[in-house]
Amino acid sequence: MSRYDAPETIDPAQAYIAPFHSWEALARERGRIEQDLAMSYTELVNRYREKCAECDREKRNAMIWEKEQRMSERELNGLKAAAESSPFAFVVVDGDGAVFREDLIARGEEGGGVAAHELHQQLKAFFHENPLFSNIDTIFVHVALSVEGLSRALHASGTLPVTDYAALSKFGRGFCRAQPLFSFTDVGYGKEQADHKVRKLFEVMEKNIQCRCLILAGSHDNGYATFLESFRGNHKICLLETTPPAADFRKFTFKRVAFPSVFRSEPVPSKPATLQAFAAPITSPLYLGSASSPPPILSPAGNGITSLPSPAPTASPKLATRKPSPPTAATMSKPAVQSNSYATVGRSSAPITINIASQKKPAAPRASYQLNRDNERVDVPLAKPDPNAVKSLEDRRQISGMNLCNRYHLANSCKNTNCNFNHGERLNAAEMLALRHKTRNLVCNTGHQCREITCNLGHHCSNPGSCYFGDDCRFSEMHGMDITPTIKIYEDGTREVV
């Protein structure tokens, strides 16, 4: 080896290459991080600006809402002050059923004034006793009725002690004049005219916030019970009871008030009391007519004169010479209802034998209702109706344009002088059975909890286990109940195991 040949050595830059590559990688990483930071910063700045703009909008909206709130509070306070400063009560009266006392009506305008002042004082006392109505000072009373129809009913029944047919009109004038906020509206003839006006007035006043007490005088009519269903829970509604309330009003919890010093406590009778006094057998010496005019024939129910007998026929000479035949059992059993007049009986030469012995009649079935083992009411099955009787009822409905009154025909208990259903001629037994079938299809409001013996409505489905109509059945809520009676309860409270 020469001296010029040096040994092979390691490149001194080699020691810096690895750190350089590491530094270069770190530089790239730092650049990437710086770029990410710049992007994040830009994104944060944008979001910040958006939030600032949103905050500014919310501030403006808050100022607007605060302003509107102050205006709304002022308006609400003004309405509250107005409502509290002038609360009033409104009394709406169906005058066809809630009838003023006849002694007040007979006094005309004077009686109307007395009735208005008495009603006003009674209402003020009622409001004073109830803390909910104690701040009421203004009272409106609106009476809707058919003046001519009620006048005729009062005179026909004999309850009005005067013969002036304008007495009710004069009473209404005095009623309005005595109290300026009292009104007396004649709705004239027409089906449910008074009911329609009463319902509309009631609906309007129920929505009026200044009306703190709303009183309805219509408890005599079950139709108002259906109308009041949608107003349950309204504490400002009260019921003014005059005559005994209808059955459907028992379910309501409204406050109740009665003013017997102003209104009649009993319905107007359909016939005068003087005619009802003649409901005794014709053998009584009450008829004082002449011998030439026959006495009136009175209906067995004591409802007054129904027909007059035809005059006795003039006897022919041949009949005059014939010996009188002995009375048969049929003629002896009819003491009064004969075609001969009293004058004819007086001219008869042969003595008349009259059987005055009391005839025993079969005891009528006692009224009752049935319960099952769960103490639920079970309807008594009805016999199959006669198709001719069903057709007869439908013909009567089409001719009159009204449904038959169930209370009048089935229970003989309709006391509404202005009933909206057909009374007319009494039904025979077959027609009554057909009508019971129709009423049995109507659901009783109290369902199987009903305990009214005379109730003719339905209390459960006739086939609760396999009803054809399913959920569409009127009695779907009673499906599944046991309709096997286990006990019978009579009107006097006695019980009989079935």
- The per-residue pLDDT for range 386-431, each reduced to its tens digit, is 888 888 888 888 887 788 888 888 877 787 777 878 888 888 888 8
For residue 77, the model assigns a pLDDT of: 85
Contact 263, 152 (CB under 8 A): no
CA proximity to 438, closest of 467, 477, 491, 474: 474
Average predicted confidence (pLDDT) for the chain = 78
Alpha helices per DSSP H over 99-183 = 102-106, 108-129, 147-157, 167-178
Q: What is the mean pLDDT of residues 151-167?
A: 84
Higher pLDDT: 498 or 83? It is: 498
User: Six-digit token pair at 55?
Assistant: 């905050």
For residue 359, the model assigns a pLDDT of: 55
Determine the residue type at 206. Answer: E
User: Six-digit token pair at 377?
Assistant: 């009411």
CA–CA separation, 436 and 68 (whole Å): 64
The set of residues, in sequence order, having a beta carbon less than 8 Å from that of 380 and lying 6+ positions away, is: 369, 370
Statement: residue 171 has pLDDT above 90: yes
For residue 493, the model assigns a pLDDT of: 78
| Region 86-257: CATH code | 3.40.50
For residue 116, the model assigns a pLDDT of: 95
Q: What is the mean pLDDT of residues 359-370?
A: 70
Q: What is the mean pLDDT of residues 190-206?
A: 86
Contact 430, 385 (CB under 8 A): yes
CA proximity to 272, closest of 161, 155, 168: 155
First to last CA, the chain: 144
448 DSSP assignment: G
User: Six-digit token pair at 337?
Assistant: 């209802």
CA–CA separation, 404 and 398 (whole Å): 11
CA–CA separation, 381 and 385 (whole Å): 12
CA–CA separation, 207 and 212 (whole Å): 10
Give the up-direction half-sphere exposure of residue 451: CA atoms within 13 A in the CB hemisphere. 8
The set of residues, in sequence order, having a beta carbon less than 8 Å from that of 439 and lying 6+ positions away, is: 406, 410, 456, 457, 458
For residue 124, the model assigns a pLDDT of: 92
Percent of the chain with pLDDT over 70: 78
pLDDT confidence band for 40 (50 / 70 / 90):
very high
- 78-87, 101-110, 235-244, 274-283: the lowest-pLDDT one: 274-283
pLDDT confidence band for 48 (50 / 70 / 90):
very high
Higher pLDDT: 415 or 348? It is: 415
Whether the predicted model's global pTM rises above the 0.75 cut: no
Contact 377, 371 (CB under 8 A): yes
Q: What is the mean pLDDT of residues 263-267?
A: 89
Intervals of CATH 3.40.50 along the chain: 86-257
